[in-house]
Structure 1
Amino acid sequence: MRYPRPSAAARPAPPRIRRSLTALALAAALPSAVAALPSGARAAGAAAPYLDPRLPAAQRVRDLLGRMTLEEKAGQMAQAERSAADADPDRITSLGLGSLLSGGGSVPAANTPSGWADMVDGYQRRALATRLRIPLLYGVDSVHGHGNLAGATVFPHNLAMGATRDPALVREEQRITAAETRATGPQWVFAACVCVTRDVRWGRTYESYGEDPALVTAMETGIEGFQGRGGHDLADTRHVLATAKHFAGDGDTVFGTSTTGTYTIDQGVTITDRARFERIDLAPYVTAVRKYRVGSVMPSFSSVDWTENGVGDPIRMSAHKELLTGVLKKRIGFRGFLISDWEAVHQLPGDYATQVRTAVNAGMDMFMEPFSAPAFVATLVAEVRAGRVAMSRVDDAVGRILTAKVELGLFEHPFTDRSRAGTIGSAAHRAVAREAVARSQVLLKNAGHALPLRGTEHIYVAGANADDIGNQAGGWTLTWQGASGPTIPGTTILEGIRRRAPHVTYSADASAPAGDSDTGIVVIGERPYAEGIGDVGNGHTLALADADRAVIAKVCGAVPTCVVLDVAGRPQIVTGELPRMDAFVMSWLPGSEGAGVADVLFGDRPFTGRLPVSWPRSEAQEPINIGDRHYDPLFPYGHGLTTRG
């Protein structure tokens, strides 16, 4: 998902959350949507089949569709940003909105579990004030934990999890993420990302499990972690509706420049033939749908250009009827609903009416229109009345959305189940995250058995990323792009080392003398970024920062044993520096539990991680992937040395 950064003049100030009830009153609120209504309304609606939980979901949805007006149906197909709902408190009720979301960094005034639950429940009450009392879906980007929530457990990003080669651990990670998310109100997450990254210059590389579609498919156990056993235990309030994204080919776009000179690898064009597209880009979605029954799918911003037709006629995924309806819904059998990415339809050709009509007719079901939901509803209604969008297409879209709400149990229990809020960020959850960190570490070089360390050494630690939890968490942490510094609770890598070794000296820039230190640990890497802002060429490069190269040279030239850790969302070019290092470890973006890095450095756990992507010798070598002709990376896909724990 992309969150554009408007100008200061256009950017709305986040309003304080309006609460209609105190926390005490919320805790005592009746659990049923029907019970929450005035007694007269309860009596009038008591016989409505769509409110009867004993009936099959399909029967309930048919009954409800038969009672809805065109305007109410259009409202269900709209999703707005929470700040827009705050700016216009009547918007949820007047439009009958189907969904709200929190964009990256869009949080309640009190960014706490109760603050989130109060906010979501307040919005839900507005939805239940509509004629048919259809509850809201609330969506968030819980891509490596409930990242918008201060104090949540923050797991390693997906690329690190791909390095673990452990589907069961991924399932457990997402089970915890689901529980922490739903305990604060949201019932829907925009995860898991099942893209196949084919060029590490892409700013979303760390959101992928790897370059091999077989590895990505193996790690889709996370969908079951989100949705429950068989992917459909949604009524259990420990689970959430999952989203497979971004359909399809977003990690396989061509690197280059547009006519305006901007880099377009993100939201770019996948130039491919249908056979290769099926093998590389589409394969993970077949598993997501058929094995795990994923509840929603988010089409990509990117385009596909079939080489069979000659390069030069790319079609945006939001308009790609062949793929959205013909392949995903009909051939693969997807029964959930499609949610557009952030204002994605605005990128289609034509005026707004043409954009809406094209996307709906292509198969899009719900539209993420953060600040233009009223215009969307009015436009869709007009298009249907003009005969340019069939009512049957609208009924199909709304039926899919309502089915998800029924299966989540929202008609019976629309408000937040707060009983598990105390487990958020718990020691048990952080222990799983720490294990994930340890299992993800990839030992790429280990000359002279430099690792594991004994713990009795005098250790000299340097590098800006050694003691920066914001950098080790990366993007999608409290804000869209993430931030450096002490942004979240947890343990930095330096803190983990200090807990394990009694003799540690730290100097971020290596300006302090190394003295008689036996071992140097240099922690280099990237600063936080997300999406296109992280694309190489858009202010970023795979080359090491000058400061990182300088610290490596200084420390590795001053101590007997030099260990370098790379804290980054993708491989960086270390070809020239590698000979200076005795040991080199890819630490990825470990999240909140930096102590997991120390666990393998000191041999408390073995190194077992393996590269989920090929490591290039130079930036010019990209794209490079396993199976290429003349394959000659610095480190091949699957490389990873082992040690004994």
Structure 2
Amino acid sequence: MKYSFKMIACALALASGFMASAQQTEAEINKKVESLLAKMTLEEKVGQMTQITLDVIGKGNNRYTSDYPLYLDDGAMKTAFEKYQVGSVLNTASGHALTPQKWYEVISEVQKNTLKYSRLKIPTIYGVDEIHGATYTDGATMFPQEIAQGAARNPELTKQAAAITAYETRACNIPWTFSPVLDLGLSPLFPRQWETFGEDPYLCSVLGVAMIDGYEGVNNDIGNPLHVASCMKHFLGYHTATSGKDRTPSYISDEALREYHLPAFKAAIEAGSHTIMINSGIINGVPVHANYDILTKLLKEELGFKGLVVTDWADIENLHKRDRIAASDKEAIMLGINAGIDMSMVPYNYEVFCDNLIGLVKEGKVKQQRIDDAVRRVLRVKYALNLFDKPNTNPKDYPEFGSKAHEEASYRMAAEAITLLKNEGNILPLKKNIKVLVTGPNANSMRTLNGGWSYSWQGDRTPMHTEKYNTILEAVQHKIGKNNVTYVPGVSYKEGGHYYDEFADKLDEAVAAAKDADVIFLCLGENSYTEKPGDMNDLYMSDLQTELAQKVAAVGKPVILILNEGRPRVISKFERQLKGIVQTYLPGNFGADALADILFGDVNPSGKLPYNYPRYPNALISYIHKPSEEQRAGEGVYNYEADYNPQFGFGFGLSYTTFDYKDLKLDKTSIKKGENVKVSVTVTNTGKVTGKEVVHLFTSDLYASSVTPDMKRLRRFDKIELKPGESKTVTFELTPKDLTYAGRHGEYILEAGEFEVMVDKLKQKFTVSE
């Protein structure tokens, strides 16, 4: 990671202070926890299990919405921290981004009141969804969202981004981030697909661990003031809702749960992540927040997770009010806590949670040992964060907040993430002495470049904080000059009958302007959203945008489609009319600059799709699928027009150069169970410009006895850079774990038999024997 000398000096000073006074062994922390736990009353313990949102203690007409600018309410804090001993606060009041100094003032005041009213001087733990930078902070460095990081396929950049996020989060006096998202982004219908690294378990595992290493440090020394506690989410199987809509039921077999959804969480737990957030949905009829088998037997016992288990927003309350598995709030609390929840993100009516949980313990319906286990986990994280000795971190100690070095890291990630999907006739890169029409609803929007969880929950307040950054239009203007660029927005969004009236529809004007352009940049996609507001009924690109694409393309000038979207919206109605397609995902504040550099050849694109890009709304098949999805025409009397045929496949992405793969070799073609096998391949840049290439290694289990094997699975990847004519030999090592699959009852099976490895178009077989 490249830092300025100023930041290095600051980091050394902060870290040396941490090393001198804060670093503690696990045994030392456990001893402190047990000593403190022995002194606590039941009321104090329940308080530690309670998390409230900041609005509850802010001044305003009610506890659901505080005034802005934010001022804390002394009376509300006295009730929360003295009477109820609340141990955690989250969120930002009224959804506004704050400056680092304001964050410091607010959280310092929260800590002051917490310690003032706490008999045992237990500090609060403050958490925020800092998912692609310090997302609720004015002036923070916003990185590409996770889906773009999945496309970049560069774990070192992901680790670097997380480390910078930790630095800037600590600059705001915040020690806990609700990140990374380790769910599989399997369905493009799901409104949170863009919060994931993509649809592959191995990809999510590698990048998830890299992000945790960035947040917590490779030694998980979160007491270091440069690090924060991470929070894996959402355990488990959140993104597979049958309807494709947020917080709706899923039906997942034991085999699928373990084979596809568990690996990233298992890897993250082994990497030492300190906290975990639970799936808000329902699996096989049981809300996960009430599922003892998942939360206790699987997570805590089998996986050995020793950290803090926190709910998602109001999800114990939802067991009663939404999911109807409990007849009252009190019963819902009993179910959630007994299932294995340690901290409830209440987030508003905390009295109901605290009073009822105290009552449940006194009635014997929740055991004291369950309470003690939960509070141990809370206190361990607080001690590990060094909050007892240093409850606050001051922005004055973080001079590199929002620095050029941090901005350059964001740009690099965007530049490696942006994916070239079509380049007919090598139209790209373009020369800079051309006339360009920039059109489409995403052409001049910082909101769409960042997506949700950016300055506010839905990202709708992004324009208030991003004036100094470039939209796609502005980046293109800077690149080739304003006189060479015409801008007509063309159309608004239209989703589910609702218009976003950011500008009046100007479709005919865009078509007229296209006639005078050499090239058209058609900027389509989505407005920002997340969670339920992002639910959808139609995966096709919206009607107005489709009409714009078709009419502009009909003019006959070359059209470059620039996609700026959180999930792949179907474009098959007009894809054939386009000369080029570039996927930007949600690339952050520097995404447009990176895009312009790619369009005009200053950067060679190297992103690879982290998902299958579907061709039709009813063809949402992952790249991980069974052989029966590929019953090719000609194998029988039928012509299977609806066979597996994505618009673009997982791992696809073009370059301005070409790469040749050869000499795929195995160190042995027959191994015994338990042995490793080494795989090597030589990659050569056969083009004229330097380029980066992601080398993917897939395997296939050709025959399996318990369940039908997948067609192929990603087992390793590496991103390399090659100059023209340069060759590199890339070597991977497969372990027995890579050849093991989950059986129909969730058991793990390694069988003798024949396997195949695939790199690019090359294949080699090997056998495993008893």
TM-score (norm. length: structure 1): 0.86
Q: Deviations over 1:312-364 (max 9, x none)?
A: xx111111111111111111111101000111012222211111111111110
Q: Deviations over 1:84-114 (max 9, x none)?
A: 1225121123321110001585347xx2110
- Contact preservation (8 Å) 1:139, 1:189: yes
- Summarize the alignment of residues 166-565 of structure 1 with structure 2, pairs less than 5 Å apart: 166-220=154-208, 221-230=210-219, 232-255=220-243, 265-290=245-270, 292-305=271-284, 314-348=285-319, 349-350=325-326, 351-483=328-460, 486-489=463-466, 490-502=469-481, 503-509=484-490, 510=510, 513-514=513-514, 516-537=516-537, 541-558=538-555, 560-565=557-562
The amino acid that maps onto 2:256 is R
- Summarize the alignment of residues 28-67 of structure 1 with structure 2, pairs less than 5 Å apart: 56-67=28-39
Number of aligned residue pairs: 573
> Does 2:94 align with 1:113?
no
Q: Distance in 1 between matches of 2:335 and 2:440?
A: 51
- Contact preservation (8 Å) 2:23, 2:221: no
- Contact preservation (8 Å) 1:142, 1:181: yes
Q: Which has the larger radius of gyration?
A: 2
The amino acid that maps onto 1:626 is I
> Does 2:52 align with 1:80?
yes
- Contact preservation (8 Å) 1:180, 1:421: yes
- Contact preservation (8 Å) 1:469, 1:487: no
Q: Distance in 2 between matches of 1:515 and 1:265?
A: 41
Q: Could you tell which deviates more after superposition, 265-274 or 74-83?
A: 265-274
- 3-state secondary structure, aligned to 2:264: helix
- Contact preservation (8 Å) 2:515, 2:557: no
Q: Distance in 2 between matches of 1:152 and 1:318?
A: 33
The amino acid that maps onto 1:449 is N
The amino acid that maps onto 1:135 is P
Q: Distance in 1 between matches of 2:123 and 2:371?
A: 19
- 3-state secondary structure, aligned to 1:115: helix
Q: Deviations over 1:502-552 (max 9, x none)?
A: 322222222662454322111111111111221222xxx322223322332
The amino acid that maps onto 2:541 is L
Q: Distance in 2 between matches of 1:268 and 1:508?
A: 36
Deviation for aligned residue 1:421 = 4.2
Q: Distance in 2 between matches of 1:512 and 1:77?
A: 62
- Contact preservation (8 Å) 2:456, 2:462: no
- 3-state secondary structure, aligned to 2:459: coil
Q: Which runs of 5+ in 1 are unaligned?
A: 1-30, 32-50, 256-263, 306-313
Q: Deviations over 1:167-203 (max 9, x none)?
A: 1111111111111111111111111000002211001
1:353/1:102 CA distance change after superposition, 3 Å: same
**Partner residue of 2:128?**
140
1:637 to 633, 650, 658: 650
The amino acid that maps onto 2:257 is F
- 3-state secondary structure, aligned to 1:250: coil
Of the two structures, which has the highest relative contact order with CA contacts closer than 8 Å and spacing of 6 or more?
A: 1
1:441/1:331 CA distance change after superposition, 3 Å: same
Deviation for aligned residue 1:420 = 4.2
Q: Deviations over 1:260-287 (max 9, x none)?
A: xxxx732122212212110111111100
Task: Indicate the RMSD between aligned Cα atoms, in angstroms.
Answer: 2.0
**Partner residue of 1:572?**
569
- 3-state secondary structure, aligned to 1:56: helix
Percent of aligned positions that are identical: 31
**Partner residue of 2:90?**
101
**Partner residue of 1:150?**
138
> Does 2:41 align with 1:69?
yes
Q: Distance in 2 between matches of 1:484 and 1:526?
A: 16
Q: Distance in 2 between matches of 1:125 and 1:611?
A: 48
- Contact preservation (8 Å) 1:626, 1:637: no
- Contact preservation (8 Å) 1:179, 1:420: no
Q: Distance in 1 between matches of 2:195 and 2:361?
A: 38
Which of the two has greater strand per residue?
A: 2
Q: Distance in 1 between matches of 2:371 and 2:358?
A: 10
Q: Distance in 2 between matches of 1:496 and 1:238?
A: 33
Q: Distance in 1 between matches of 2:400 and 2:101?
A: 13
1:53/1:591 CA distance change after superposition, 3 Å: closer
Deviation for aligned residue 1:558 = 3.7
**Partner residue of 2:753?**
none
Q: Distance in 2 between matches of 1:198 and 1:547?
A: 27
- 3-state secondary structure, aligned to 1:642: coil
- 3-state secondary structure, aligned to 2:77: coil
1:560/1:514 CA distance change after superposition, 3 Å: closer
**Partner residue of 1:7?**
none
**Partner residue of 1:608?**
606
> Does 2:97 align with 1:125?
no
- 3-state secondary structure, aligned to 1:195: coil
Deviation for aligned residue 1:67 = 0.8
The amino acid that maps onto 1:462 is T
1:516/1:353 CA distance change after superposition, 3 Å: closer
- 3-state secondary structure, aligned to 2:381: helix
- Contact preservation (8 Å) 2:55, 2:94: no
- Contact preservation (8 Å) 1:443, 1:609: yes
1:626/1:105 CA distance change after superposition, 3 Å: farther
Q: Distance in 2 between matches of 1:105 and 1:580?
A: 45
1:420/1:575 CA distance change after superposition, 3 Å: farther
Q: Deviations over 1:53-94 (max 9, x none)?
A: 798101111100011111000000000011112251211233
1:92/1:619 CA distance change after superposition, 3 Å: same
**Partner residue of 2:585?**
588
Deviation for aligned residue 1:415 = 1.5
Q: Distance in 2 between matches of 1:485 and 1:212?
A: 30
Deviation for aligned residue 1:604 = 1.5
- Contact preservation (8 Å) 1:104, 1:476: no
Q: Distance in 2 between matches of 1:52 and 1:235?
A: 7
1:574/1:345 CA distance change after superposition, 3 Å: same
- 3-state secondary structure, aligned to 2:159: helix
1:237/1:389 CA distance change after superposition, 3 Å: same
Q: Distance in 2 between matches of 1:177 and 1:535?
A: 28
